[in-house]
Structure 1
Amino acid sequence: MKVTITTLLLVFSFLALTGCSKATEPQQADIAVFEQFLSENPISSINPSIDIASIYQPSDPLFESVLYIQRNLWAEAKKQLEPMAKNQNPDAKFWLASITWGTGIKNNPIAKKLYMESAEQGNPYAALFFSPKNDICQMYYSSECSEKWVEKAQKLFAEQAKTGNVRALYYSTILKPDLTHEEYIDAVIQSAEKHYYYPLVEYSNNLRKAEDSNQEMKELAIELLNYARFNNFVPAIESLMKIEGKHKRMNGSIYKELMTQGISLGANYAWRGYRILSIEDDSLSEKEKYIAAKATELFNGDDFAISFTHPPKEKEALIAANNKAQEKADSVKRVIYIDGAHVPEG
């Protein structure tokens, strides 16, 4: 099952739910606050251990399914999620809806039903899907979009926050109707201190793109992204790679370091860069180019580069190359960094 443009819109609509208000707009005064945070939490090289607030651990029933989604292997995820959804698992219904929506006109009502059931059964992200601020909801399910779902999501997050759930603590705060900028910044920092780095990355990206962003603010954004990157958070790595790419520095040492780190952690953007640069690299043999393309296909189903390579003709050489590719794909860390508010872009 391939990623579609409509799915990409779904990703950005989720982000918009938590990123568009006066209280969350970056301010010049934030610099001093974050500089203090960075001075109290110094890190200037990649952490040898991975310590991010992942939603699922390998022992959790949904781990494999969501890892498949993260890697864009949706057909495999669907096979695992459907039985759990039939057994009334609200989280399984949410994730199944996330990979069902946008895959065909007939599938949109199925996704809507799954989202609705998941929300009614207590999944706050599913409830948030029906926010009036969600463009996808307004476009396709306008009669269902209501503030009552936002209120329900906030209450569900608040209940989960009592258990110390770091995501719940963050979203229960920023969904408050009377949220202040100070509360927002404090929530971003507290989340980072508890190893949930999405808010910090989102703030950093907004800081760079803000209309009144000056050089000092842009530099702070890079520092914050590097803080999350050094803590092995994939979205920060991808943001930094995109910045390097925007400035045409894809052959530079920083981009290559980011790509190497991203590949080891399962960043789809890094793997795309890897297979593109590999097939364009004249210093690589045809066999090496094939191994890079095959490894990418095995990792996340991206078979784009295969058609541009020439696999070994001899059977034994082909088997050896495929084994090398499998080893590279298998070497990727099995860590989930996506969550209900951040469905993968593909």
Structure 2
Amino acid sequence: MMRHKTIIQVILLSISMSFLTGCKEKAINPEDDIPLFKEFIEENIGKVADDPYISSTLRPDDEMYEVLLDLQRGIPWDDKIQQRFSKLMSEGNEHAMIIKARSGLLNIEKRSYWASVLTELMEKGNPYAAYWLSSKSNICHMYLGSRNLGSKVAKDLGLDTSYENKYCTEEIYQKAVEGFKKLAAEGDLRAQYFLLKDKGLDKSVEKREKYIKEVIRFAEAHYYKPMMDYTSSLRKQTRKGRVFSTEKLKSLSLELFRIASNNYYIPAMSKLVYYERDNTALFDRLKKSGGRNYFWAMAFDRSNELTTRDKYCHAVLFEKMYTDTDFYGFDSDWPKKGDYDESICETDKEISKMKPMIYIDYFTKSDDWSKGY
């Protein structure tokens, strides 16, 4: 009798294990995505855009264009930039207010004020303000969270810390979600992508195809950030850095980079330029777009194509665009800053030929503003 009971228990246990195994979601295999991209790649791989701003977040006629270009170039917040922000804020530009507030939170003496600016915008219904004050915001936890070490310092200095325990909550995050739903319904692609990530479509096998189709839809509208995030997920960390998991996924990613590069998207060009170092058209396109990585790629990979004078003017152009002086003398054969008179370089003419696209948007973390990838 005991033996029969034991056999029955084993059978029931086996059935239970089989049931649980069957219920367990199948692991995602990114190589299964490759066929989903086939038609998109075939239709777009050979197309090169005539419009250098086709993938730009903003065009030059937008009042925020110059501001985001300065941030993208990593230009210090000098008086000129401060005045530009002050003018936009006085005109009621909420995006300018939010960017200034995000930076202002770093100042412990002004933290309470800038938190109140974001709060007022959030209460008016601005979802970006709500997002940066929510549980998903890195700056909220760093500067406004209840465990923020700066709060003790602020208290010791007698500063206002009434912002403690008011922010970084899930409730505020849901306010952001509701706000982005309204923008998404109006056709805002960035809001739509925010909601796509919020739903976690990329984490489920069953929803994977829908996720890939959304990534393609965004790319067809020349919004390539979702596609770049996707290709980033195909790489793994190794001792030598992040590398593609398989050769097939690397090949897929390079084709996607080419499509975005053909549409002047700087992050894709910055990736592709290190795989295709002899691609002159790609280098020219990256320079025309004002990509920082053009200068570094030329310096490290193609400097043998430049004369000493060319190298000097190359460095002058970089400094003029990025107010960065560390480009001179990076190598022993690179000219020093005083080797020539800058008048030999047609820097202003070179800059006038450029059509810088903007790859950052209002979700981009400040650490990533000037990376270009």
TM-score interval, smaller chain: 0.7 to 0.9
Matches within 5 A, 1:98-247: 98-100=102-104, 102=106, 105-106=108-109, 112-142=115-145, 143=165, 144-176=167-199, 180-209=207-236, 213-241=245-273, 244=275
Aligned equivalents of 2:29, 2:73: Cα separation in 1: 32
Per-residue CA shift, 1:29-65, capped at 9, x if unaligned? 21111123223x3323643333535333322222222
Matched with 1:43 is 45
Matched with 1:85 is 89
3-state SS, counterpart of residue 309 of structure 1: coil
1:91 shift after superposition? 0.8
Aligned equivalents of 1:46, 1:328: Cα separation in 2: 22
Matched with 1:17 is none
1:299 shift after superposition? 1.1
Q: Which amino acid aligns with 2:39?
A: Q
3-state SS, counterpart of residue 29 of structure 1: helix
CA, structure 1 residues 122+85, in 2 after alignment: closer, same or farther (shift >3 Å)?
Answer: farther
Q: Which amino acid aligns with 1:69?
A: L
Per-residue CA shift, 1:157-178, capped at 9, x if unaligned? 2211232222222223332378
Check the 8 A contact 1:101/1:107 in 2, yes or no: yes
Matched with 2:356 is 334
1:258 shift after superposition? 3.9
Check the 8 A contact 1:91/1:118 in 2, yes or no: no
Structure 2: which 5+ runs fail to align? Answer: 1-24, 146-164, 238-242, 330-334
Q: Which amino acid aligns with 1:289?
A: K
Aligned equivalents of 2:61, 2:306: Cα separation in 1: 42
Q: Percent identity at matched positions? A: 26
Aligned equivalents of 2:227, 2:37: Cα separation in 1: 10
| Residues matched between the structures, number | 306
Matched with 1:8 is none
Q: Which moved more, 1:303-312 or 1:139-148?
A: 303-312
Matched with 2:7 is none
Q: Which amino acid aligns with 2:94?
A: P
Q: Which moved more, 1:299-308 or 1:224-233?
A: 299-308
Aligned equivalents of 1:154, 1:330: Cα separation in 2: 41
Matched with 1:56 is 58
3-state SS, counterpart of residue 209 of structure 1: strand
CA, structure 1 residues 331+98, in 2 after alignment: closer, same or farther (shift >3 Å)?
Answer: farther
Check the 8 A contact 2:55/2:263 in 1, yes or no: no
Per-residue CA shift, 1:99-127, capped at 9, x if unaligned? 5455x555655654444444444443332
2:312 is equivalent to residue 300 of structure 1: no
Bigger Cα Rg: 2
Q: Which amino acid aligns with 1:209?
A: K
Check the 8 A contact 2:318/2:324 in 1, yes or no: yes
Per-residue CA shift, 1:72-107, capped at 9, x if unaligned? 2243433211232244421111222345455x5556
3-state SS, counterpart of residue 49 of structure 2: coil
Check the 8 A contact 1:290/1:311 in 2, yes or no: no
- Please give the TM-score of this superposition, normalised by the length of structure 2: 0.70
Aligned equivalents of 1:26, 1:234: Cα separation in 2: 28
Per-residue CA shift, 1:167-206, capped at 9, x if unaligned? 2222233323788434432321111111111101110121
Aligned equivalents of 1:201, 1:161: Cα separation in 2: 20
- Please give the TM-score of this superposition, normalised by the length of structure 1: 0.75
Per-residue CA shift, 1:213-244, capped at 9, x if unaligned? 32222221221121111121111112224x54
Check the 8 A contact 1:312/1:318 in 2, yes or no: no
Taking only aligned residues, the RMSD between alpha carbons, in angstroms, comes to 3.2
Per-residue CA shift, 1:263-320, capped at 9, x if unaligned? 2101122234345668x659522x332211111111121221246524456xxx5423
Check the 8 A contact 2:55/2:357 in 1, yes or no: no
Matched with 1:260 is 284
3-state SS, counterpart of residue 31 of structure 2: coil
Aligned equivalents of 2:29, 2:352: Cα separation in 1: 40
Write 1 or 2 for the structure with the bigger share of helix: 1
Matched with 1:34 is 37
Matched with 1:290 is 312
Q: Which amino acid aligns with 2:362?
A: G
